[in-house]
Amino acid sequence: MSDTTFADERIKRISPLRKALIRPELGGIVGTVAVFTFFLMFAFDSGMFNAQGVMNWSVVSAQFMIIAVGACLLMIAGEFDLSVGSMIGFAGMMIAVFAITLGWPMWAAILITFFICMMCGALNGFIVVRTGLPSFIVTLATLFILRGFTIFIPQLLERKTIIGGIREAAEGDWLAPIFGGKILSGAFQWMGDQGWITVFDRGNLAGKPVVDGVPMLIVWALGLVLFGHILLTRTRFGNWIFAAGGDAQAARYVGVPVARVKISMFVFTAFCATVFAVCQVMEFGSAGADRGLLKEFEAIIAVVIGGALLTGGYGSVIGAALGALIFGVVQQGLFFANVESSLFRVFLGVILLLAVILNTYIRRLITGER
């Protein structure tokens, strides 16, 4: 008997090129390479890639990244959450009301805000799975409800829509530095002493590095990306997320708890939005009723650029992170390249259209549709 192994004709062979084309991260990788190449050519001498420039676009990218992780997992599960932006504004305002107006300890204000927002996320998910209504409609309603409360509550209690004093209230708190602190300050001071990064040369800050540490916002972003990637690719729950978004009814037939998966993803999306909000109020030292505007759309665009299908069941957290990185680099890079900043919105529209076209082509490759 011959040792030759014959290929089974029933097994569809996929070429290496086809495997590469159907990777969800492809669009994000191509976009990242293109964006960095462009700004290396046209903005290299502007300071965009020195320590302070890198930190500027890294912080902006991290903001997008935090909410993109939650939006990505939810979209793969087959749902949308349009209330993310309003959740950011609402969460920040609740922290200010609890800590400043009511005088609670900052740690208590943060924890109760997380609880309230995650319960709002659970309510969104419960309504969607119990009624069968599109998540687009349910969370659109939540968007207006939360934004209305974000404006009404501070006006009722403080007669204004911006509440300050958060940075002072957070001094000495044990939980606040986890969201508003910095790490590796000693390493940056050492790099400044070695002349590797710029330091201040006059005044009280003489000798101090211009970049004095890595903000916790970036740490949270990287941590959430790592968590989301492991959850999605290395756990049974990750398989359930793909199954719930790909074909919910078929998933139920094989024992996947679709309702629990979807509700959990709504809760996680609210958690990510609240992390963003807490980091933001700690950075600015205040909460405003207009915070978070349009963030829900920016998160969805980052996820789509990262390769997720709008129909659910396909996507990548790494791709979403790359989409967020593209956002941050372009938003800050236009300033360094002396390009009119309003063109950022033009870029968003163009890149979204291109990403949807690419994703549609990928879906057809996967399903064999014409």
Residue 365's pLDDT is what? 66
44 domain-assigned? no
Return the structure tokens found at 81. 């959450």
Q: Supply the CATH number for residue 113's domain.
A: 1.10.3470
172 domain-assigned? yes
359 domain-assigned? yes
143 domain-assigned? yes
Residue 22's pLDDT is what? 64
Tell me which residue has tokens 């969201």: 179
Residue 139's pLDDT is what? 96
Residue 11's pLDDT is what? 44
Return the structure tokens found at 333. 């890079």
- Give 173-227 pLDDT, tens digit per residue: 999 999 998 998 888 888 888 888 888 877 777 778 888 889 999 999 999 999 9
**Strands 162-164 and 182-183, how do they pair?**
unpaired
321 SS3 class:
helix
The pTM assigned to this predicted structure is 0.90
Helix ranges (DSSP H) in the chain: 16-21, 26-42, 51-76, 84-96, 106-131, 135-158, 166-169, 177-180, 185-193, 216-234, 236-246, 248-253, 258-284, 295-305, 317-336, 343-367
Percent of the chain with pLDDT over 70: 91
Q: How confident is the model at residue 351 (pLDDT cuts 50, 70, 90)?
A: confident
Residue 242's pLDDT is what? 94
14 domain-assigned? no
Residue 58's pLDDT is what? 93
**Average model confidence (pLDDT) for the chain?**
87
- Give 76-101 pLDDT, tens digit per residue: 999 999 999 999 999 999 999 999 99
Number of domains observed in the structure of the chain: 1
Q: Is the pLDDT of residue 298 over 70?
A: yes
91 domain-assigned? yes
18 domain-assigned? no
What is the rounded radius of gyration, in angstroms, for the C-alpha atoms of the chain? 23
Average pLDDT of the residues in 279-296: 91
Residue 2's pLDDT is what? 46
**Backbone phi and psi for residue 6, each to the nearest 5 degrees, phi listed first:** -95, 140
**In which domain, by residue range, is 308 found?**
24-36+50-367
Give the bridge partners for 286, in sequence order: 164
Q: Is the pLDDT of residue 153 over 50?
A: yes
Return the structure tokens found at 191. 């790099």
Percent of the chain with pLDDT over 90: 55
- Give 225-266 pLDDT, tens digit per residue: 999 999 999 999 999 999 999 889 999 999 999 999 999 999
Q: Is the pLDDT of residue 47 over 90?
A: no
Average pLDDT of the residues in 46-51: 83
Tell me which residue has tokens 């659910």: 312
Residue 294's pLDDT is what? 85
17 domain-assigned? no
Residue 19's pLDDT is what? 61
- The region of weakest confidence among 14-28, 125-139, 277-291, 350-364 is 14-28
Average pLDDT of the residues in 137-142: 96
Q: Is the pLDDT of residue 273 over 80?
A: yes
Stronger pLDDT, 30 or 231, i.e. the higher one: 231
Q: Which of 290, 356, 363 is nearest to 323 (CA)?
A: 356
15 SS3 class:
coil
Average pLDDT of the residues in 124-142: 95
d(CA 274, CA 292) in angstroms, rounded, equals: 11
Residue 14's pLDDT is what? 55
Most confident listed range (34-43, 108-117, 318-327)? 108-117
Q: Is the pLDDT of residue 327 over 80?
A: yes
